[in-house]
Amino acid sequence: MVKSGYNYSYTSSMKTAVSMPDELFLRADATARRLKLSRSALYAKAVSAYLEQQENAEITRRLNEVYSRTSSKLDPQLARMQAKLLKKEDW
């Protein structure tokens, strides 16, 4: 919840104005009606999903950065041992 300088009204939600292309607005409006959601609820869900996607992408980027510094190559002796074990199994 935003605290500093915001003029609270009868709701606990932030009110905001958003500008977007007419076509996007019409598609969002039709989708909200189809899903029986208010436009506010649709926008809140969309922003939440987008932010989660961005956070997940950032986590993946950071993990890739860490793992790119370390070799993931299997130790040759361990690879031979695994290969021996796989030959013994019946599939």
**Position 88 pLDDT exceeds 80:** no
C-alpha angle 46-47-52 in degrees, rounded to nearest 5: 100
**In the structure, what pLDDT confidence band is assigned to residue 8 with cuts at 50, 70 and 90?**
low
Instruction: Map out the domains of the chain as residue ranges.
Output: 20-68
Q: Alpha-carbon distance 25 to 46, whole Å?
A: 13
- Over residues 22-69, the pLDDT tens digits come to 999 999 999 999 999 999 999 999 999 999 999 999 999 999 998 888
Query: What pLDDT, on a 0 to 100 scale, did the predictor assign at position 11?
Result: 59
Query: What pLDDT, on a 0 to 100 scale, did the predictor assign at position 12?
Result: 72
Region class of 5: left (phi > 0), else alpha (psi between -120 and 50), else beta: left
Query: What pLDDT, on a 0 to 100 scale, did the predictor assign at position 10?
Result: 52
